[in-house]
Chains A and B, each alone.
Chain A
Amino acid sequence: MEIISQLFSALPGSVSQGLIWGIMAIGVYITYRILDVSDLTVDGSFATGGAVAVMLILNGSDLWLAMLLAFLAGMLTGAITGGLHIFMGIPPILAGILTQLSLYSINLKIMDKANQSVNVNQTDLLISLRWVKEFALHNPLITVGIILVLLIAVLYWFFGTEMGCSIRATGANVQMSRAQGINTNFNKVLGIMISNGLVAFSGAFLAQYQGFADVKMGQGAIVIGLAAVIIGEALFGKIFKNFALRLLSVVLGSVIYYIVIQAVITMGLDANMLKLLSAVIVAVFLAIPYWKKQYAQRHMFRKGKGGAENA
């Protein structure tokens, strides 16, 4: 009983984190699902977003301006990964890893040290975990919730425009896209930029939520993003066909991921084992379509053999 009440009281916090990471997961969805590129820049650009926002806020910047600049900084990191891929011929996965590694140094330079805190008692913040149970606009559930609705609306509109459609086509079939006059290189870079902009935006929210930015705050972010995408698709893929609903399912996937994590911690799992657990969950979910295919193949083979015996 105690576990349940503990879990219940932790719920607003888990959902808040899930929503914040949901923005990041939408970024991962854009590269992983729409562009069909595995972009590992995100581990670095997530922290870049946090670092940029925290330093600007500490220097007295307007809060929304800080968020905007964090978004633009994230887009810049995406431009670098895209550039490494397009102009230097480096495969996307490696290009992302190179950017991610270099961002570690850059994030340290932005913050001057590995960790910078913004104290909610001394500075005004958009959201903070201290306010998760308050009924006010600065409650992370409300602020991030509204931002997510706006974001999904904007992305739904954008991917329905001529430009957005051509980005989707680039991810779906490069050869066909070029034959239809689409600048596939430009589109890949643009897609990776938008994705990392969202990731950094999410990092900027998380830094305020937890009250600090840390150079390691993005470590393993790609796995959390993938987990959210995959859980969302597994649970809602059959009912959510519309593009906006698909983005929503990614956010829900992220929220569910954080509720599950909270549950296993409450039940006494060693917090140090969390990353291992996340990796195992993602690996299994990624394997399921492959296993399904193999199973179907073997099933067919058996049926075929049976048929031959009868004949």
Chain B
Amino acid sequence: MLEIKNVRKTFNPGTINEKKALNGIDLRLEEGDFVTVIGGNGAGKSTMLNMIAGVYPVDCGSICIDGEDITHLSEYKRAKYLGRVFQDPMTGTAADMQIEENLALAARRGKRRTLRKGITAKERKEYRELLKLLDLGLEDRMTAKVGLLSGGQRQALTLLMATLKKPRLLLLDEHTAALDPKTAKKVLDITEEIVEKNQLITLMITHNMMDAIRVGNRLIMMHEGQIVVDVRGEEKKKLTIEQLLQMFEASSGSHFASDKAILSK
């Protein structure tokens, strides 16, 4: 369970570039929640995910996972609760290291790294089986450097790494945005499969309104650092893009300003 209370963040306070990125976020995610997050450019979607992940400190408020306050925990320490996939396929994996080495690093998330072997023969077998499930042919290239993979393959691998040790919360930051439509669909399918199989609480930012409506059981929309729409269950399933845009205009008093989102509907 994730509980965010009154989280605020202002970048460059007191300067001409002051930017109120988060303006009092309250959010509670329960078991089984798969939440899609939409919103215009600069609405605070990525900032919210980065705050949860601890990339930078919050100005006020609290973030709890399963009742434990992680607000002031450093990024690497709270990583044991979180699986993360980034927008840029380069970010989530180490290009200079082998596929199996990347997986072995992820398998030790949240554990002390000792002088034991960095990867064991038993692990290699497990990884081979897991990679087979991705159906991208990676199981035969386990010792290849990740830098040789395509963007889609790297995102699929990052997804596997993020969930190799079951996280309490999976954070997906527009993880299909940099991929071509066909690959994006494939990666999204894999995402749904993995979330379903592991029953993960998931927060997924997307710029694709169709995906936002179709995927998951709950949808939130952000605007100027606040959550302005929060629909779930049956109500969410029946949503249309037109309704979504209307809801946005009603709650924010302005037009939905994201070319990417409009174009991709």
Contact = CB atoms under 8 A, between A and B. Distances in A.
A175 B91 contact: yes
A85 interface: no
Contact of A169 (B75, B84, B86, B97): B97
A183 interface: yes
B74 to A, nearest CB: 8
A176 B86 CA distance: 9
A201 B114 CA distance: 25
A165 B104 contact: yes
Interface string B74-113: 0111011010101000111111110001001110111101
B108 A162 contact: yes
B118 A164 contact: yes
Given A168-B97, A176-B92, A160 B77 contact: no
A172 B96 contact: yes
Contacts of B84: 179
Contacts of B204: none
B154 to A, nearest CB: 11
B159 interface: no
A180 interface: yes
Given A160-B118, A168-B97, A173-B94, A180 B161 contact: yes
A131 B49 CA distance: 64
B219 interface: no
Contacts of A175: 86, 91
A187 to B, nearest CB: 9
B115 interface: yes
B109 A163 contact: no
A31 to B, nearest CB: 15
A268 interface: no
Say what secondary structure dominates the interface of chain B.
Answer: loop
Chain A: interface secondary structure? helix
Contact of B77 (A158, A176, A180, A181): A181
Given A176-B91, A176-B93, A162 B79 contact: no
B122 interface: no
B91 A166 contact: no
Nearest to B147: A172
Interface string B60-82: 00000000000000011101101
B109 A160 contact: no
A183 B76 contact: yes
A102 interface: no
Given A172-B96, A172-B97, A182 B118 contact: no
Contact of B76 (A165, A172, A173, A182): A182
Contacts of A158: 115
A178 interface: yes
B79 A181 contact: yes
Given A161-B115, A173-B94, A182-B79, 4 more contacts: A175-B91, A180-B108, A181-B108, A183-B76
12 contacts: A161-B114, A162-B113, A163-B115, A164-B118, A165-B119, A168-B96, A172-B97, A173-B94, A178-B76, A180-B108, A180-B109, A180-B161
Interface of B: 53, 75-77, 79-80, 82, 84, 86, 90-97, 101, 104-106, 108-111, 113-119, 161-162
